[in-house]
Structure 1
Amino acid sequence: MTSAPAQPDSRPARLITDGLEPKNWVILVTLLVGWHADRLAGIGWGLVAALFSAVIPILFIKWGEKKGHWGDRHVRRRQDRLYVIPGILLSVAAGLTLTYCLGGPREVTALVIAMLVSLFVVLAITVWWKVSVHTAVSAGAIAILVLAYGPWPLLLSPLVPVIGWSRVKLRDHTLAQVVVGTFLGAVVGGAVFQLLR
């Protein structure tokens, strides 16, 4: 699917897409899982996970955007994602190696592995179809937080369809792509985290 121009009244959708982008969810979930795992020390490990899973990937994406390799930080073209996602995978794998080798908390390690596995699944699908990373990451983050903290993070779940709406409104994804992204993130991310924590 190639992106069509956004509709003129799409400012709210753009604000939602930008404000609730994957990087922000990753930072939230890494810090909260870190806190759950080992309080203040866990926050430190969460910051390490956030560095390799959110900060370095967004810097890589912005570098590619500046060089003209892809259009913007949301990497709209499916073909461009086939280059971006492996770069993100390398960064997340480096963070996992560091966390594991330095004895990071089991829950934080499980979280990073869950993100890594989810990214591999997204990459496999991206070879032929452009699944929504926005809904995959938000749904996966909520599922993992529910497993760690209990039901209260379900209060965040209405944000997932709102994000999905924004992606469809901006014509970056179809309804099917946001639904599959939601299912993938919650099921794959949640299952791997639960299995390993």
Structure 2
Amino acid sequence: MTTETVEPQTPAYKLAKVVGEILAPWVVLVLLSLAVPWKATGYSIGYTLLWGFVIAFFCAAVPMAFIVRGARKGDWDGHHVRNREGRVKPLIVCFASTAVGLAIMLTWKAPTDLVYMAIAMLVSLVVTFAITSWWKISLHAAVSGGGVATLAVVYGPVALLLLLVVALICWSRVVTGDHTTGQVTAGTALGFGITILTFVPTF
């Protein structure tokens, strides 16, 4: 399936670029690092900030810092790592950093929802890594899809309305030519499905 790139100077393309930046995986993870702990800790500001920092630092900040550093060195083609071959090292670093974050959560007895969210991230990264060896599945879609699934478990079915935002993210990745419709669809299904399956023991 081919991409459906729009001419760079059109309003649609410019909008798609903006959407891809403001709803990038690391941004979505930072938002989740506040939304999930807020409910999981019983709306405690202190614990929300504490666990939010752990999640944001190990699941978003460390991986993003590594990716930006690699992009500046020319190891891959930008902070979105558009070339499939360049995604191996970033995915390994994402997994390792998230694993450290999970270890801290388990040691400090973090709320169950936070632990399962981290586990879902790790499983998604493993599957994504395997798929990336032969196909450029969308990380934007996988992270946002998993994020909506997490919020649906924590806050209830009303969070599924955020799938409209996921659809917007998927549209942006196709319009900019970074992914095909199949790749964003698969990414969304992967992130959403793995997250729901991970949380099954909590139901």
TM-score normalised per structure 1:
0.93
1:131 aligned partner: 137
Shift of 1:152: 2.1
Query: Of the candidates 119, 124, 127, which is equivalent to residue 121 of structure 1?
Result: 127
Query: Of the candidates 47, 50, 61, which is equivalent to residue 56 of structure 2?
Result: 50
Distance in structure 1 (CA, Å) of the matches to 2:85 and 2:202: 32
Aligned length: 197
| Distance verdict in 2 for CA 1:60–1:79, change over 3 Å | same
Listed as ranges, the gaps of 5+ residues in structure 2 are none
Listed as ranges, the gaps of 5+ residues in structure 1 are none
> Are 2:41 and 1:35 equivalent residues in the alignment?
no
> Are 2:188 and 1:182 equivalent residues in the alignment?
yes
Give the letter for the 1:141 counterpart: G
> Are 2:149 and 1:149 equivalent residues in the alignment?
no
> Are 2:177 and 1:171 equivalent residues in the alignment?
yes
1:18 aligned partner: 21
2:99 aligned partner: 93
1:7 aligned partner: 7
TM-score normalised per structure 2:
0.90
Distance in structure 2 (CA, Å) of the matches to 1:134 and 1:71: 16
Distance in structure 2 (CA, Å) of the matches to 1:108 and 1:119: 17
Give the letter for the 1:30 counterpart: S
Identity across the alignment (%): 39
Distance in structure 1 (CA, Å) of the matches to 2:87 and 2:150: 25
Distance in structure 2 (CA, Å) of the matches to 1:99 and 1:113: 11
Single out whichever of 37-46 and 81-90 deviates more from structure 2. Answer: 37-46
Distance in structure 1 (CA, Å) of the matches to 2:161 and 2:185: 19
**What value does the CA root-mean-square deviation take over the aligned residues?**
2.1
Shift of 1:165: 1.0
Shift of 1:67: 1.1
Shift of 1:27: 1.3
C-alpha contact 1:45 1:105 (8 A) present in aligned 2: no
Shift of 1:29: 1.6
Shift of 1:32: 1.4
Runs of at least 4 residues off by over 4 Å: 3-6
| Distance verdict in 2 for CA 1:168–1:5, change over 3 Å | closer
C-alpha contact 1:4 1:172 (8 A) present in aligned 2: no
Shift of 1:30: 2.2
Give the letter for the 1:35 counterpart: W
Give the letter for the 1:37 counterpart: A
